[in-house]
Amino acid sequence: MSEVSPEPDGPDGPGGTDGAAADLVLARAGDDAAFTRLVAPLRRELHAHCYRMLGSVHDADDALQEALLRAWRGIGRFEGRGSLRGWLYTVATRTCLDAAERRGRRALPVDLGPACERVVLDSAPATEVAWLGPYPTGAGGDPAERYERYEAVELAFVAALQQLPGNQRAALLLFDVLGFSAAEIAGLLDTTPGSVNSALARARRRLAAAPSGFPSAPGPGEARARATVAAYRGALERGDADALVALLTEDVTWSMPPLPHWYRGRDAVMAFARAVPLTRCPSWRTVPVEANSRPAVACYLGSSADAVHTAWSITVLDLAADGRIAGLVSFLGAEHFAPFGLPVNYLEN
């Protein structure tokens, strides 16, 4: 397996710390505790990379586990010519390519067809589609979070990536997001630098034409974003249609995977909101979170205000520069809550 290094030296490379060097020697000799210490600082960014490749936090969990198992079994063959980080990205990328080939690509409803012209009630989930899922991001400033904090895990970007063949997806991420050179990527993918550059050019053209996700215009400041999230939560919990419509841009979109239907435009979105979440859903409780580097709301549904409220959706909000909501993606299903550290049943405060 080729050894690549986007960074020549550092705590995980040839010029790393004495502790890391000692742990590398121990890990090569079969010390699993030393291996765990070596990979611990890199787990989060590797997990974000697996999510970008596969479009699902659960798939990313599985891929990272498999990649680290492969790395543990192969650590004796790592000679230290490049960085440990680069070598682990090699293992993780190849693991994700194997997984993507088995599972296929993930999508959002906007990838599959035009917006609905009328409200669809009692829509059935499209279980035959592999859907994109949300990714929890936090507000911390730890440098280990830098690869997941910005554009690289935004829904528009990750959804568009899923439309690319695996080799183009990997090349684009490794070059544009992680800073590997074309020569390094060629070694990782067992190809030539010319083929990598060709894959990058094709990937960028396809990415520019992708229909997925949110507009790329900058959002509002943090204070205005918090105010919009609070207003959205209040409108949903009160069932207040007037308050909700005031929060929406004219060309707002709303999709709800795994339901295949989606809506475009304030009138269409509000027709759906009035017909379903504001009337047919008796009681909501909400929790603010962050998903895919966007403000998001975890929504719990109850049969009445006094009933137990259970996990319903993680709704990711795209905000325009003026703070209004330009897009909503509501990921339906209790399985999305655990990665955000949220319980299945709503807990007050």
Task: Tell me how crowded residue 73 is: count the other CB atoms within 10 A of its CB.
Answer: 10
Same domain, 119 and 255: yes
CATH number at residue 61: 1.10.1740.10
Same domain, 64 and 113: no
Q: How far apart are CA 159 and CA 106, in angstroms?
A: 7
CA atoms within 13 A on the CB side of 58: 11
pLDDT, position 104: 79
Same domain, 126 and 246: yes
Same domain, 345 and 306: yes
Whether residue 42 has pLDDT greater than 60 = yes
pLDDT, position 3: 45
Q: How far apart are CA 341 and CA 333, in angstroms?
A: 15
Whether residue 131 has pLDDT greater than 90 = yes
Tens of pLDDT along 77-88? Answer: 887 777 899 899
pLDDT, position 211: 65
Domain boundary among 104, 126, 155: 104
Would the CA dihedral through 325, 232, 153, 314 be positive or negative?
Answer: negative
Same domain, 125 and 230: yes
Rg of the chain over all Cα atoms, to the nearest angstrom? 22
Beta bridge partners, 111, equal none
Average pLDDT estimate for 3-16: 42
Residue 136 counted as domain residue: yes
Q: How far apart are CA 239 and CA 144, in angstroms?
A: 40
Residue 171 counted as domain residue: no
pLDDT, position 241: 98
Residue 318 counted as domain residue: yes
3-state secondary structure of 49: helix
Q: How far apart are CA 284 and CA 232, in angstroms?
A: 12
Residue 229 counted as domain residue: yes
Which range of residues forms the domain containing residue 313? 105-144+218-349
pLDDT, position 6: 39
Same domain, 122 and 59: no
Tens of pLDDT along 257-310? Answer: 999 999 999 999 999 999 999 999 999 999 999 999 999 999 999 999 999 999
Task: Tell me how crowded residue 166 is: count the other CB atoms within 10 A of its CB.
Answer: 17
- Going by the DSSP 8-state scheme, the letter that residue 178 receives in this structure is T
Q: Domain count of the chain?
A: 2
Domain boundary among 87, 104, 121: 104
pLDDT, position 82: 76
Residue 279 counted as domain residue: yes
pLDDT, position 142: 53
Same domain, 338 and 263: yes
- Going by the DSSP 8-state scheme, the letter that residue 34 receives in this structure is H
Contact between 277 and 236 (Cβ < 8 Å) = yes
Domain boundary among 104, 123, 155: 104
Whether residue 1 has pLDDT greater than 50 = no
Contact between 302 and 203 (Cβ < 8 Å) = no
Which carries the bigger pLDDT value, residue 179 or residue 209? 179
Residue 328 counted as domain residue: yes
Whether residue 329 has pLDDT greater than 90 = yes
Would the CA dihedral through 59, 148, 6, 208 be positive or negative?
Answer: positive
Residue 56 counted as domain residue: yes
Strands 248-255 and 325-332: parallel
Q: What are phi and psi of 316, to 5 degrees?
A: -95, 130
pLDDT, position 105: 85
Angle, CA 233 vertex, CA 228 and CA 238 arms, to 5°: 125
Whether residue 218 has pLDDT greater than 70 = no
Contact between 183 and 171 (Cβ < 8 Å) = no
Same domain, 277 and 296: yes
CATH number at residue 301: 3.10.450.50
- Going by the DSSP 8-state scheme, the letter that residue 136 receives in this structure is B
Tens of pLDDT along 152-208? Answer: 899 989 999 999 999 999 999 999 999 999 999 998 888 999 999 999 999 999 888
Q: Name the token pair of 43.
A: 């787990």
pLDDT, averaged across the chain: 89
Place 5 in a pLDDT band, splitting at 50, 70 and 90: very low
Same domain, 138 and 63: no
Same domain, 56 and 131: no
**Residue matched to tokens 């609905």:** 116
pLDDT, position 200: 96
Whether residue 11 has pLDDT greater than 70 = no
Tens of pLDDT along 86-112? Answer: 899 999 999 999 999 888 789 999 999
Same domain, 62 and 126: no
Residue 282 counted as domain residue: yes
Q: Hey, which bits of the chain come out as E strands?
A: 248-255, 262-264, 283-291, 294-302, 310-319, 325-332
Q: Which of 165, 173, 11, 174 lies closest to 183 in space, CA to CA?
A: 174
Same domain, 226 and 98: no
